[in-house]
Structure 1
């Protein structure tokens, strides 16, 4: 069993979801999204939805392609079988409100089958729930999860428009 490709990126699970899909299959699927609420990871063949228990703390998405899929590690919180078809050979990891977090070039286009497994999901949710809540209608940036403090943080900076006083 040989590892053919590996890709990892950080993503923010806005609305508690991160998506993985073929670059040409970006349309959403409400049924698959609802299934992810029940079983953590679900898809429709071209699109996978990964359900988080919290919306603000960054998660790490790792995709590994093996010549023969290995069994998930014994100490994971959960796992489900997954299948995704990529006609382009490019998978996109997407954050619902923030856009793409990254993309992976696969060894070749085709159908990929294996397992999705997760760890630290419940511990992160427990940590999130203990944080102070902002007043209704106000956004409060939550402190980073202790296990995420060492990770690099990526921010997109946008120029702020400057207001110039009118001159007569």
Structure 2
């Protein structure tokens, strides 16, 4: 990784690589850095390489991250109680030219900490109060970078602070 840091977030993107965002740099400086560990064309991992992506719009520390509808979606971790969300549409050809954009529709999500996963084609966000909200794209929104999301309560996880969501798939 070009930028040493801790408390960052990472997501695997099939056929592209692993995107790492945010975190704390030495000296406790919060960062908006985004980097891609690009997939090698070979079966072995010997030729993978780090590429710097354009920085996120906000600094983020331990944000939620998911790969949804062809975009990296990052939420929370910005030190505010109102969750802000941004996304990056990754082009497999020129990932370093992709632009971060704010995503609307996450109103009502009030939490400094959050966790994101994609489950059954829906984006789930868990906040630090254990509330899990399901976000779906509105019918006329097929591009996450310009999308509008519709929210509905999904579940509540009792007696937990900072829940982390994880989706496990059975190997076929």
Q: Same fold (TM over 0.5)?
A: no
TM superposition score normalised by structure 1: 0.25
TM superposition score normalised by structure 2: 0.25
Higher helix share: 1
